[in-house]
């Protein structure tokens, strides 16, 4: 088997696997990211309301 044939047989599944992992982890991280953003916004709103006198 030539190196070309090997790279052609090995590459597509590997790319698919990487995409699959990327998608799976992206979905798993999404809620965490949203939670973090929401928390950061809440903190910012809080510090602004405290910093503003009155």
Which residue ranges make up each domain of the chain? Answer: 1-54
pLDDT in tens, 4-26: 555 555 555 666 666 666 666 66
- pLDDT of 51 over the 60 cut: yes
Instruction: Give the chain's radius of gyration (CA, Å).
Output: 23
DSSP percent split of the chain into helix, strand, coil, nearest 5: 90, 0, 10
Predicted structure pTM score: 0.40
Please tell me which residue, 1 or 22, carries the higher pLDDT value: 22
- Nearest-10 Cα torsion for 36, 42, 46, 47: 40
pLDDT of residue 44: 85
């Amino acid at each position: 088997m030539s190196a070309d044939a090997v790279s052609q047989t090995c590459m597509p599944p590997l790319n698919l696997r990487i995409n699959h992992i990327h998608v799976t982890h992206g979905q798993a991280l999404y809620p965490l990211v949203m939670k973090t953003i929401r928390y950061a916004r809440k903190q910012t709103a809080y510090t602004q309301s405290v910093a503003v006198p009155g």
